[in-house]
Amino acid sequence: MSSVYKAMKKAEEEQSGTQTKESDALPLSELTSLAQGSEADDSITVRISAVEITDLKLRTESRIFGQDENTAAGTEQFRLLLGRLLHLQTRTPLKRLLITSARRGEGKTHVSANLAITMARETGRRVLLVDADFRKPDVHKVFGIPNEFGLSDILRKGRDTWKAIRKVKGLNLYLLTAGSAIDEPPAPSSLLMLKEPLDEINPAFDCVIIDSPPVLVAADAPLLAKLADGILFVVGASETPRDVVIKAKGMLGSVPVVGAVLNSARRVSDRHAYDNEQDKIHKHKKEATENGEAQKVLDGIFR
């Protein structure tokens, strides 16, 4: 007999004047736990419903897939990535995911934004995208929203985390931007203090995606990684040397790297104007070889 059923049964018997058997009586501790759980759920509902709603104002250069037929190939790639992550979640806790790269320009924010919007759109899950790259914040630019109040303000001024979150209209996607500009990078102790606000809002979301600074650019990424359940590593195809990727991966400590994304890989299906058919065939073979070699390197590092 479940605790909830016992509580309801006891209330019915008391109202009818009958006495519940001692063996069926619900302990006070369980009643308290049920009440507290209900209150927590109510509090989350109130908080979520009060979040500011913003329109999706994507810029052309944002490269968010799924908006038109021209982005169908990219959309499918992120669906595949999402499917693999969802499968991984059946075997290991992966609610809080940190996305990073070795260096700038490899596309970590591009991957973070597309993965977040794909998950919200395809699964209906409540997804929060957090911009924790204080040195070069980009999430607000991608989605065309203000950035005057966000994560940095929560750290510096102890502001209410919920007031900094915005919901994208028509989607179960929520955004927490990096916040107002800071003169100096946050101290390690400040970054670890992010655990408290993240833990506070964590129960309200099915997945929290953290867009982190690149590993070799700042000391932030290894510290932020401690707040995540796993890491998704973005590697720019034909851009980042193997030893650079290995060095960055080694700096992330014991937090598991659950996968890697080869970004900006050349599309073998692209069509260009060539003098003859043989040149075109040679071009496609060359692109396929480059992509394949890059993938082999990635597999060797993250196996």
Q: What is the pLDDT of residues 6-53, one digit of tens each?
A: 444 444 444 444 444 444 555 555 545 445 555 567 788 888 888 999
Q: pTM value? A: 0.76
Using the structure block, give the residue that is written with the tokens 């209410």.
160
Residue 59's closest CA among 117, 145, 122, 178?
145
Residue 192 has pLDDT above 60, yes or no: yes
What percent of the chain has pLDDT above 90? 47
Least confident window among 91-95, 108-112, 156-160, 289-293: 289-293
Does 83 fall in a domain? yes
Task: Map residue 119 onto helix, strand or coil.
Answer: helix
Q: What region does 236 belong to: left with phi over 0, alpha with psi -120 to 50, or beta?
A: beta
What percent of the chain has pLDDT above 70? 70
Residue 122 host element (H or E): helix 108-123
Give the residue ranges of DSSP H helices in 162-219.
Answer: 188-192, 195-201
Task: Map residue 2 onto helix, strand or coil.
Answer: coil
**249, 220: one domain:** yes
Average pLDDT over residues 100-106: 94
Rounded CA gap, 262 and 237, in Å? Answer: 6
Does 281 fall in a domain? no
pLDDT reported for residue 301: 60
Q: Which residue has the higher pLDDT, 299 or 4?
A: 299
Torsion (CA) 76, 81, 84, 85 in degrees, nearest 10: -140
Residue 89's Cβ-count burial label (10 Å; 0-12, 13-18, 19+) is middle
**175, 220: one domain:** yes
**41, 101: one domain:** no
The phi and psi torsions of 199 (rounded to 5 degrees) equal -65, -35
**99, 139: one domain:** yes
pLDDT reported for residue 87: 94
**39, 141: one domain:** no
Task: Map residue 18 onto helix, strand or coil.
Answer: coil
Q: Which band of pLDDT confidence, cut at 50, 70 and 90, is reported for residue 284? A: very low
**Top mean-pLDDT range of 66-75, 97-106, 281-290:** 97-106
Contact criterion met (CB below 8 Å) for 177 and 167: no
Looking up residue 176, the CATH number of its domain turns out to be 3.40.50.300
What is the token pair recorded at 165? 């979150």
Q: What is the pLDDT of residues 111-159, one digit of tens each?
A: 999 999 999 999 999 999 999 999 999 999 999 999 989 999 998 877 7
**40, 82: one domain:** no
* Structural domain boundaries, residue 34: 1-11+25-50
**29, 167: one domain:** no
Residue 213 has pLDDT above 90, yes or no: yes
Q: What is the pLDDT of residues 218-254, one digit of tens each?
A: 889 999 999 999 999 999 887 788 899 999 999 998 8
pLDDT reported for residue 7: 41
Does 19 fall in a domain? no
Residue 264's closest CA among 289, 287, 293, 235?
235
pLDDT reported for residue 43: 81
**120, 35: one domain:** no
Does 283 fall in a domain? no
Task: Map residue 262 onto helix, strand or coil.
Answer: strand
Using the structure block, give the residue that is written with the tokens 């109130």.
46
**6, 62: one domain:** no
**134, 105: one domain:** yes
Using the structure block, give the residue that is written with the tokens 């995540």.
228
**45, 106: one domain:** no
Q: Which residue has the higher pLDDT, 199 or 266?
A: 199
Q: What is the domain count for the chain?
A: 2
